[in-house]
Amino acid sequence: MSESNNKPALRYEIRDRVAYITLDRPGVRNAINPEVRQGIIESFADASVNPEVWVVMITGTGDKAFCAGNDLKANHQNQLAGRRHVVPMTGPDKNIFEAVLETYKPTIAVLNGLAYGGGLELALACDIRIAADHAKLCLPEAKRGMGANFGSVLLPRMIPRGIAMQMLYTAEPVTAQEALHWGLVNQVVPYAALADTAEKFVRSLLKNAPLTLQRYKHMAVKGWELPVQTALRLDAGPNPYLSEDRAEGVRAFVEKREPRWKAK
């Protein structure tokens, strides 16, 4: 996706089994405009089915913001131009956060700065969140007359309900350290160490059987609110039990070597 100056607003690269998605609008704190929205949907859609991708990582450019949410200036210009505001879960396009949530491979959000509004919702849609120690997380929609549709559903399921409702009602940010305390992020590291920490974590996942990780994602997402007995019978995602990788994993254990996964 490109801005009017032809500078990419979103970069999508695949290197060594990892899809790297980078929001690249640092001048507006990597805010989401229509081009970025479509780019995220298309990038995750490709990563979801691309056999060369085993893990997905998303981050932002610079040290100010992972993503400040929707580009409100662009929204205001659309309003002045008389364009209809798109209500969540309506319209012809897939919901951006569902596109991330329904990518059945490990997804990691690397929070290089503030994650506000839609930016936090984007991070919530990922499986793992690694944050720089100066990052702040916030759903400010109550101060903007918006709705945080995705966040209002996901947040109370991920952290204690009272803390989630406080974040929603007050629209005040929490620090990375507070987010770590409540389990909203998995790790907090100095900004200087963020890229290396994220890369090492992603590489560690590649040592594990990719079909098993995909199976975990299917089962965890699809069985989230199901009764245990029902979830156990989902049999969702690839079946690692009958895969070539299962035989390879057992063989590698017996031979005391690292397995050579094929995702088959």
CA R_g for the chain: 19
Q: How far is C-alpha 82 from the chain's CA centre?
A: 32
Per-residue pLDDT band at 90 (split at 50, 70, 90): low
Question: Is residue 183 domain-shared with residue 241, that is, in the same domain?
Answer: no
Per-residue pLDDT band at 72 (split at 50, 70, 90): low
pLDDT score of 94: 75
Residue 79 lies in a domain: yes
Between CA 27 and CA 219 the distance in angstroms is: 39
Question: Is residue 196 domain-shared with residue 69, that is, in the same domain?
Answer: yes
pLDDT score of 2: 46
Residue 262 lies in a domain: no
The total number of structural domains that make up the chain: 2
Look at 119 and 73; give whichever has higher pLDDT: 119
Residue 52 lies in a domain: yes
Domain that includes residue 168, residue range: 10-205
Phi-psi region of 17 (alpha: psi -120 to 50; beta: other; left: phi over 0): left
Q: What is the pLDDT of residues 91-103, one digit of tens each?
A: 556 789 999 999 9
**Domain finish residue from 187, 205, 223:** 205
Catalytic residue among 35, 121, 178, 248: 121
pLDDT score of 7: 80
pTM here is: 0.90
pLDDT score of 70: 87
Tokens of residue 263, six digits: 């995702």
Question: Is residue 201 domain-shared with residue 87, that is, in the same domain?
Answer: yes
Q: What is the pLDDT of residues 16-61, one digit of tens each?
A: 999 999 999 999 999 999 899 999 999 999 999 999 999 999 999 9
Question: Is residue 227 domain-shared with residue 172, that is, in the same domain?
Answer: no
| Three-state secondary structure call for residue 55 | strand
Residue 260 lies in a domain: no
Between CA 230 and CA 228 the distance in angstroms is: 5
**Predicted confidence (pLDDT) at residue 4 exceeds the cutoff of 70:** no
Catalytic residue among 35, 102, 141, 172: 141
**Predicted confidence (pLDDT) at residue 207 exceeds the cutoff of 90:** yes
| Residue 199 annotated in active site | no
Question: Is residue 146 domain-shared with residue 230, that is, in the same domain?
Answer: no
Between CA 199 and CA 172 the distance in angstroms is: 30
Question: Is residue 157 domain-shared with residue 246, that is, in the same domain?
Answer: no
Question: Is residue 233 domain-shared with residue 147, that is, in the same domain?
Answer: no
pLDDT score of 203: 97
Tokens of residue 1, six digits: 């996706």
Contact partners, residue 37, CB within 8 Å, separation at least 6: 93, 96
Question: What is the mean pLDDT of the segment spanning 165-173?
Answer: 98
Between CA 179 and CA 123 the distance in angstroms is: 12
What share of the chain in percent tops pLDDT 70? 89
CATH number, domain of 181, equals 3.90.226.10
Beta strands in 1-148 (DSSP E): 10-15, 18-23, 55-60, 65-67, 107-111, 114-116, 128-132, 136-138
| Three-state secondary structure call for residue 264 | coil
Q: What is the pLDDT of residues 139-150, one digit of tens each?
A: 999 999 988 999
**Predicted confidence (pLDDT) at residue 75 exceeds the cutoff of 90:** no
Mean residue pLDDT of the chain comes to: 92
